[in-house]
């Protein structure tokens, strides 16, 4: 580690213990017992990280941090060590830009893990827009290479992994000041999808009281994002293929061809190649949209992104709640890392939003993030007593959530789950799922 660590701790036993452990871990460390001495050192010397107790004999850790902010020096990341009574102070410090905190008593292994994440990820996180994991940084690199042209891109991955986030980033890099037009191909009937994509002329059908531009026209000069293209009906696929190839479309009820120019980005959670082999997806359309393929791994396979995304979501949520920033307890962070996230980024975002809204305090515990009180109450009420019961109930709840999300449209829900419509009906009967 090129830059040393600044340790501010007045307790001799704890300070010496920390110094020995950090030295053994390979950190170069300067130890200060007084806040004033540390403040002077921070103004003269460059540190990669500061670990500071809140309660110090001369000036407190929070005052030290605030005074440092008023100077012109670059402030390194701060990890504060705090007792339970100082939690509110730490929350305020996090709002001001502190990196993290540990509540006493804490595990030294957790501290070292946080330090390595901060020091090793400082350069990695700088400028990251999709994530800090190697695979997401690699995808960002590819997007920068693609930005200047209009090569068609297919983004694949499980539901909720952030496919639209990737499409938006590619658009921002290449045509940020032009329109970004998105449509979920599985959310509309064939008739509605045709009208949405190609537009229609006045009087083309009942209710067409005026002419309307379709999404192909609206995306002219920008990006057209066809989400869940694997759910597009076969009869629509040939029409879309023609529009993509010729870059000319005809509105429903129209006669003249209208030229369009856009970057095409498609996304799906389905295996299009297998669908081509089974006759469910046109081979010519498959090769037309798969010039560049970007596979987004599930969140459980890129754990480096979990806390980065969580902090990003919490910062966004604070802007929606009068600037009140929610922070995660260390135990909550560990729980986030241990969770399998079957719903991927979407599930993570919803869990944090629910916790911020329902939690009485601003410091989020694992129970608040995962709403374990409600889960335990529900399991107890239903008399779950075995692993089989638990797994069945978990599957039942997940399917119910997906049905609600897709407004109980069976085909859309089945596609989102990656199973057939028949399979979904069978599971609903087996698990006693019905719309009340």
Sheet order of strands, 100-103 included: 29-32, 5-8, 49-53, 78-82, 100-103
Assigned domain for 204 exists: yes
Residues 171 and 254 in one domain: yes
HEC letters along the chain: CCCCEEEECCCHHHHHHHHHHHHHCCCCEEEECCHHHHHHHHHHCCCCEEEEECCCCCCCHHHHHHHHHCCCCCCCCEEEEECHHHHHHHHHHHHHCCCEEEECCCCHHHHHHHHHHHHHHHHHHCCCCCCCCHHHHHHHHHHHHHCCCCCCEEEECCCCCCHHHHHHHHHHHHHCCCCEEEEECCCCCHHHHHHHHHEECCCCCCCCCCCEECHHHHCCCCEEEEECHHHCCHHHHHHHHHHHHHCEECCECCCCCEECCCEEEEEECCCHHHHHHCCCCCHHHHHHHCCEEEECCCHHHCCHHHHHHHHHHHHHHHHHCCCCCCEECHHHHHHHHHCCCCCHHHHHHHHHHHHHHHCCCCEECHHHHHCHHHHHHHHHHHCCCCHHHHHHHHHHHHHHHHHHHCCCCHHHHHHHHCCCHHHHHHHHHHCCCCCC
Sign of CA dihedral 127, 133, 137, 143: negative
Assigned domain for 107 exists: yes
Residues 259 and 402 in one domain: no
Residues 264 and 146 in one domain: yes
Residues 303 and 291 in one domain: no
- Please give the tally of structural domains in the chain: 4
CATH number, domain at 342? Answer: 1.10.8.60
CATH number, domain at 409? Answer: 1.10.10.60
Assigned domain for 379 exists: no
Residues 158 and 30 in one domain: no
Assigned domain for 435 exists: no
Closest CA relative to residue 226, chosen from 272, 187, 264, 188? 264
Residues 401 and 256 in one domain: no
- DSSP bridge pairs for 49: 5
Per-residue tens of pLDDT for the chain, all 436 residues:
468 999 999 999 999 999 998 988 888 999 999 999 999 999 989 898 999 999 999 999 999 998 988 876 778 889 998 876 567 788 888 877 788 888 888 888 888 888 887 786 555 555 678 988 889 989 999 999 999 888 999 999 999 999 999 999 999 998 878 999 999 998 888 888 999 999 999 888 888 889 999 999 999 999 999 999 999 999 999 999 999 999 999 999 998 999 999 999 999 999 999 999 999 999 999 999 999 999 999 999 998 899 889 988 988 887 776 667 788 887 888 889 889 998 999 999 999 999 988 887 788 888 889 875 444 444 444 555 566 676 777 788 888 888 877 778 888 888 878 788 888 888 888 888 876 5
Residues 234 and 335 in one domain: no
Residues 353 and 306 in one domain: yes
What tokens were used for 231?
Answer: 């759910």
Assigned domain for 15 exists: yes
* Range(s) of the domain holding residue 327: 299-370
């Amino acid at each position: 580690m090129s830059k040393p660590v600044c340790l501010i701790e007045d307790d001799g036993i704890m300070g010496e213990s920390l110094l020995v452990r950090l030295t053994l871990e390979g950190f170069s460390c300067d130890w200060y017992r007084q806040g004033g001495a540390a403040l002077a050192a921070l103004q003269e010397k460059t540190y990669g990280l500061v670990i500071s107790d809140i309660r110090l004999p001369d000036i407190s850790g929070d005052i030290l941090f605030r005074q440092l902010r008023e100077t012109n020096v670059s402030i390194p990341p701060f990890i504060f060590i705090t007792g339970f009574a100082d939690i509110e102070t730490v929350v305020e410090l996090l709002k001001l830009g502190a990196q993290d905190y540990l509540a006493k008593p804490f595990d030294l292994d957790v501290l070292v893990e946080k330090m390595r994440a901060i020091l090793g990820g400082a350069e990695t996180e700088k400028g990251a827009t999709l994530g800090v994991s190697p695979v997401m940084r690699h995808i960002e690199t590819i997007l920068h290479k693609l930005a200047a042209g209009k090569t068609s891109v297919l983004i694949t991955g499980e539901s909720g992994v952030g496919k639209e986030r990737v499409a938006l980033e590619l658009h921002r890099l290449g045509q940020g000041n032009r329109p970004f037009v998105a449509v979920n191909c599985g959310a509309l009937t064939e008739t509605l999808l045709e009208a949405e994509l190609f537009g229609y002329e006045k009087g083309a059908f009942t209710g067409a009281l005026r002419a309307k531009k379709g999404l192909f026209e609206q995306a002219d000069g920008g990006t057209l994002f066809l989400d869940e293209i694997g759910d597009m009906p076969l009869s629509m696929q040939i029409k879309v293929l023609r529009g993509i190839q010729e870059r000319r479309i005809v509105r429903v009820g129209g006669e003249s061809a209208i030229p369009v120019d856009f970057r095409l980005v498609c996304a799906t959670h389905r295996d299009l190649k297998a669908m081509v082999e089974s006759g469910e997806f046109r081979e010519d359309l498959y090769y037309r949209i798969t010039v560049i393929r970007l596979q987004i791994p599930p969140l459980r396979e890129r754990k480096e992104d979990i806390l980065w995304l969580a902090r990003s979501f919490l910062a966004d949520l604070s802007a929606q709640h009068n600037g009140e920033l929610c922070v995660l307890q260390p135990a909550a962070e560990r729980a986030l890392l241990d969770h399998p996230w079957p719903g991927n980024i979407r599930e993570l975002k919803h869990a944090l939003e629910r916790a911020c809204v329902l939690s009485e305090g601003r410091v989020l515990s694992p129970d608040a993030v995962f709403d374990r009180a409600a889960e335990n109450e529900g399991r107890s009420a239903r008399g779950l007593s075995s692993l089989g019961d638990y797994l069945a109930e978990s599957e039942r709840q997940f399917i119910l959530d997906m049905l609600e999300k897709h407004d109980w449209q069976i085909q859309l829900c089945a596609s989102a789950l990656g199973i057939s419509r028949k399979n979904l009906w069978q599971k609903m009967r087996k698990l006693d799922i019905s719309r009340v």
